[in-house]
Amino acid sequence: MGFVKTFIVSFFRLAAGLAFLCAALTGCLLASTAMGQDNLLDVARSLFRPIPKRAADLDGNPATLEKLELGKMLYFEPRLSQAHNISCNTCHQIGRAGGDGRSTSIGHNWQRGGRNAPTVFNAVFNIAQFWDGRAADLTEQAGGPISNPTEMGTTPGHAVEELKGIPGYVEAFGKAFPDEVDPLRYDNIARAIAVFEATLITPNAPFDRYLEGNENALTTEQKEGLRLFTDKGCSSCHNGINLGGSMYAPFGVVEKPGWDFLPPDDKGRVEVTRKVDDDYVFKIPTLRNVALTAPYFHSGHAWALEQAVAVMGTTQLGTQLSPEEVDKITAFLQALTGDQPKVTYPTLPPSVATTPRPAP
């Protein structure tokens, strides 16, 4: 009888212990889940930064009202092109999130560009410019398309000659660069455009408000997409203020995509560095406003954001994302659309009888 009593007491003690252990484990799991939800914001803040309300001045190229107004005029100025029909805004349209909605742009004499036009919005935050990073900053980038024979098709000398033949620009350059003896120079064309481009930022996206502490700025689905974005490894390349634009990577880290996505004759950054390791390496694009900037990739081959997400999963991460995961990540990417710049179309100075004429 004593043995039975001892056994019963021991049994209930063991049962009570097991119940306590189960309760403790359940509590730990619930706490862990809650902590995971709370820590999502901390994880996000460790990887990303919100777009500021105002872009900083460019190094060595401080902004003034006169330079900014000149840069805006030049950005919309088609007379900087050989045929007077293409401006910066032709391929980087302010009303289309800084892109042009084409796989590749159409330039001088209806030539097709080799790559998709990247958005100019928030480009000031990129490590370099163009898909291959051949321009170190916005100033160097701004001067490139004007003299590119496939794009605007003129020469630096002719661009200067054109603007010097327009009295309004002679006056505007004098005001924008008042301390220079000869202010209307090609490098100053680029510097003025760069100052304007630096203002084309898109703050106040739902994700920015989330990073600033408003946890209700993202929907439940967008938070789940953010969690997948970080857990799956997307953020290892798409991070920082621009969720991209800060490093280079091969297109096809794990598995090369088809040649339609990765044209074999465009080897990317190797053309700049001449290093074999840079074959098919490109600058990681920003994901800011990505829901507005289809088509995607340097080839402009993907027209649906969901398709681009799925391709990135297989090629860069070696992961076959489920349709549900693709939808959630896409929902998160839609939270990266910020306030679009409000730009008043400028009145351009008129040509005069002696202004150089457009090429036929």
Catalytic residues: 151
Q: Give the burial class of 38: count Cβ atoms within 10 A of its Cβ; 0-12 exposed, 13-18 middle, 19 or more buried.
A: exposed
Does residue 117 sit in helix, strand or coil? Answer: coil
Exposure b/e, 273-289, CB count within 10 A at least 16 = b: eeeeebebbbbbbbbbb
Rounded Cα distance between 92 and 198, Å, is: 14
Query: Cis peptide leading into 356, omega within 30 of 0?
Result: no
Q: How many angstroms separate the CA atoms of 36 and 43, rounded? A: 10
- Residue 260 structure tokens: 């339609």
Q: Which residues pair with 129 in a beta bridge?
A: 135
Name the 3-class secondary structure at 224. helix
Q: Could you tell me which of 87, 161, 89, 77 has the C-alpha nearest to residue 119? A: 89
From residue 192, give the alpha-carbon distance in Å to each of 114, 185, 189, 342.
27, 11, 5, 19
Nearest to 105 by CA among 86, 123, 82: 86
For residue 64, the SS3 value is coil
